[in-house]
Structure 1
Amino acid sequence: MYISWSKSPHILVHNYPLLLVLLALNMLLREFYLNVRSSEETATNFLRQHNLLDVVEDAANCHRCGSAMQENRRRDRGGEFRPILRCPRKGCQTTRSVRNGNTFFHYNDLNGRINSKLLLVQILELIFLFLLDIPIDSVVSLTGRSNATVIDWFNMCREVCSSMVSYTRNGRLTGTHEDPVQIDEARFAGGRKYGRGRMLQGDASAESEESDDDIHNNRNHGRRIDGPWVFGLRNINETRYFYVARRDAETLLPIIQREVEMGSVIHSDEWPAYRR
């Protein structure tokens, strides 16, 4: 599923920022730890690239003197540098967290100051391990986070995944040659379509690229490559998601017929189920 789908401002789900993170973190393990998890600065840059944190040019001016804020760094107690915003005006020098403006990544303490128990890299790591379907006790061992913290974040991720396929929709999507309805499907964990991306040892590919017939693998929790799936439809105004167990024509075509206006232009990746 294309990450750009997640930027629709009209998707009506609980905790929209976390949904964007879930989609944006659809990457390889090595890619995540090299490009996102390596430092607080790389995590900040990643979130800014996906419009989840303001870049300095879009940040609100200093609340004390009204000057434009500038990018700076501050060393935390652990010796790691954290990006911050600082007022350049002499005699002011007010600082502000880069998390300001997105309450998903912080809370305000009793003094009104922005605070958080976890670094951005730690938050993203928990979400990424959720996407990999790593058991909670293993995540506790791997990250050093408490059992309660891991459970809280995993529960939030589950709520978002559930919310995005259950919100009420009004009317049908319309697609034109200039703005077609785009359709695609993806999994949040396990291998991905066409063999691209991560595939865990023991996972098995479907016997046919045109069906999701039952297959057996070396794991005790059932199939991974053949579902479950999240099927998405998008036009310029709205994105809709549906939880499906299979991606065959019998499952997907009724959704398309129900959700898309007759005669609309639809773009897909030529998955065989769409051509029937």
Structure 2
Amino acid sequence: MLAEINSIADLTAQYPTEKDICHLLMDEDLLHKTAKCDKCGNNMSLRSRGSSYEWRCRVSKSQDCSSKSIKYGSFFKNTKLTLTQATKVMVMWSCQYTSSQISKEVGISERTTCDWRNFLREICQKTESTYGKIGGNDHIVEIDETNLHSRKYGVGKGTNEDWIFGGIDRESGKVFMKRVVNRSASVLVPLLQANVEKRSVVYSDEWRSYSQLKRYFTDHYTVCHKTQFINVVGTRRVCTNGVESMWSRLKKPFKAANGTSSALLDSYLSEFVCRENEKDDFFQSVINGMKIS
């Protein structure tokens, strides 16, 4: 299975040729296994074309009725990359290689690599849109906000300050994350209600926008970071270490890449949320989003 491949060495060893990759992608339902001729409606045959395949409908041994690319009707239909190159990009992106590392290994421009990363993050955005609320009956959900300094196109002196609001369910490890225009209660509370089950217990710092959360959830406990890391309330040890660790994981690739475009930030957040929520099944979830419907 493609999702079980976690290195270029594994991919090359198991699927050394373009035709091997074609069969792999067919088995994953990422390429069509059959094709109909657009002219006559007959079934087409899969034929060799150079190092790859194409679909052909033949009138006779010497005359074609029509032909189709092996990529037709698939996620790959508009790419000029070979299927081997495209699959390498997917594998390396899933393993969190940088754009420059992917470009060098696959032999493509960094612009092409960035375009592909954008395509793959769009799948993450669609996947994220299917998620329900985190938390549940007495689940502890830690919430917090953080500031990201994004750069236009990842370069230059000018920066944008983007506030991100999010939370993590201690029991399941599931997260949510949204960019917000400000940190007012009128913005944060509706987002919290939309993303966290009301039966949850919420842990936060003492930011004033959280002052009325007991009205919307089973309970709400706070920790004052000016004086303590953990607030002991009976048997509860109230802290936000989990969500603060989440912010560290989020910011790490941004620091390595010297920021990103503010316009692309939402898609990066979606990728992060999917990686956090899908865990070892992340690459499979992306593959599922690419399957031919």
Shorter-chain TM-score category? 0.3 to 0.5
Structure with higher helix content: 2
Higher-Rg structure is 2
Higher strand share: 2
